[in-house]
Chain A
């Protein structure tokens, strides 16, 4: 699955990106109805003049391949089109929302991996213990609970009955304070959505960590390590963990796209001003250019993150590095 040179990875990443662009283009043209109407439906029925203007702007009267090349060239110049509802460039709208989403998804991912790995390791070391049962229940519940429902329960519990955290948004607009106070305020807002989003992946990673740790602990090289007279701590945390971490990195990389998708629901529930919330808004307004722009940008994000995990994997697995 993995392997090949870094250059090869880069080439295939560009290929994927091109496929995403092509997909966007095709889907837009396959959609029922006139393309210009689809693009402008967010304005609530455009006049004939506006439709003509859009047709001209996007070159919709041109042959398809010319349209595609034009589309491609606009993308290369950072032009993702214009949001019909906001009447603003899509690229700018998305860029404004990038940081909140990255903060939310990043925090959730780190939380899920660190906690999940810890639980999984403890569970693997004591197959009959409480933590092991906890991991089993947690993974089952985490997998089965709809994340938007979890979010609502969390809101009801920790923003309403026990009002420890703010219910909506990322910053308190009434706040007046220095930068440190602002950071604290953002973190305060971050707790509930991040925990909610992490809960799903915590379930998965704890189970995965347990499986891979059990695999590693049962491997022949662990018996070798014990036969060398190494202490239990060295055996578990040096010899086993270094191997058990590999599948977690792989899965974390693959799941970034799922995490971004989950962020749509979580951001909607918590009013978090990220790309997911923007996607929700674009659906409410039937804003096709914005939605397509978001699809493109999230795909780009996933590709970048995947390449980063690939590099990380190379760094920690010598079998890939020295092939």
Chain B
């Protein structure tokens, strides 16, 4: 959809105008930009290797060598938090992409074509809703050796049914609307109906779902790493927390600080998601 500057407001311009006035959402956006910037340029600015032992173990925050203290091996916690973002965000983002890609494709096919494709999808989502997601992901990672890719794939594999159901519902709803019937009566091909009519109109809830999926995937990655199922070569927030868990009473900072950053990241994404929801689905705005 192109947005021209002149002429009356397009739905997209209207959505942006609403989003811009939403303070929590802007706050979330700022927070997210900050965190992403930290993970991207942080390691070069703060040149401490997160795996180097820099000081005594379990040193409290405020130390000259380690501003946020050290972990149970004496590694710099701040360096760990800065580098840990990369794995967390990369896995979160790629898992979310996989989830949405898989979910939207399958949901769109099922919703548009119906019939046996649809029945198959419904059965499959039912199947995945029966398996507890984390336990399923644990099984997969356990059997297929942990790596960033395995983790991302397993998260995607357990998460796709939710966006698939949403996409299917949207497609089912929109394909029966009169403007789609009118387009059929004009002789529009399926390709045009899907890409030009249904998808743009199904986009708002899907965009919101995509945002929430990123948050969920980051949380999921955190959980897996916390249990020691992440890539043990890549420092991540969850991994730091999991390794320092036995020492929470001796060194509260080693688990609390990475947790705060993880929480802040997901919170930022959720705030943006809420803001997008208000902006893109104006009918529900009163809620």
Q: Which residues of A contact B (CB under 8 A)?
A: 12, 15-16, 19-20, 23, 27-28, 30-32, 38, 140-141, 143-149, 152-153, 155-156, 160, 167, 211, 214, 254, 257-258, 260-262, 264-265, 268-269, 279-280, 282-284, 286, 288, 291-292, 294-295, 298-299, 302-303, 306
Contacts and interface: CB of A to CB of B under 8 A. Distances in A.
A294 B229 CA distance: 17
Contacts of A299: 130-132
Contacts of B215: 143-144
Contacts of A20: 127, 130-131
A278 to B, nearest CB: 11
From B143, B256, B269, B274, residue with most partner A Cβ within 10 Å: B143
Given A16-B130, A146-B238, A160-B252, 13 more contacts: A16-B127, A32-B144, A144-B269, A146-B222, A148-B222, A214-B287, A264-B135, A265-B223, A279-B135, A292-B139, A295-B132, A295-B136, A299-B130
A301 B136 CA distance: 14
Contacts of A260: 132, 135
B263 A148 contact: no
B153 interface: no
B129 interface: yes
A61 B179 CA distance: 60
Contacts of A32: 144-145
A146 B262 contact: yes
A119 to B, nearest CB: 15
Contacts of B126: 12, 16
Given A32-B144, A140-B270, A152-B259, A283 B132 contact: no
From A141, A211, A292, A299, residue with most partner B Cβ within 10 Å: A299
A257 B130 contact: yes
Chain A residues touching B, majority SS = helix
B227 A298 contact: no
**7 tightest Cβ-Cβ pairs between the two chains A and B:** A149-B259, A261-B134, A31-B143, A261-B132, A144-B267, A144-B266, A260-B132
Interface stretch (B78-86, B106-114, B241-249): B241-249
A176 B21 CA distance: 62
B226 interface: yes
B270 A143 contact: yes
Contacts of B269: 144
Given A149-B255, A155-B248, A257-B129, A144 B263 contact: yes
B211 to A, nearest CB: 12
B270 A283 contact: no
Contacts, number: 142
A156 B227 CA distance: 19
B261 to A, nearest CB: 10
Contacts of A264: 132, 134-135, 138, 223, 227
Contact of A257 (B133, B139, B267): B133
Contacts of B138: 264, 279, 283, 291
9 contacts: A20-B127, A145-B263, A148-B222, A148-B226, A152-B248, A156-B252, A257-B129, A257-B131, A299-B131
Nearest to B216: A143
Nearest to A280: B227
A155 B135 CA distance: 24
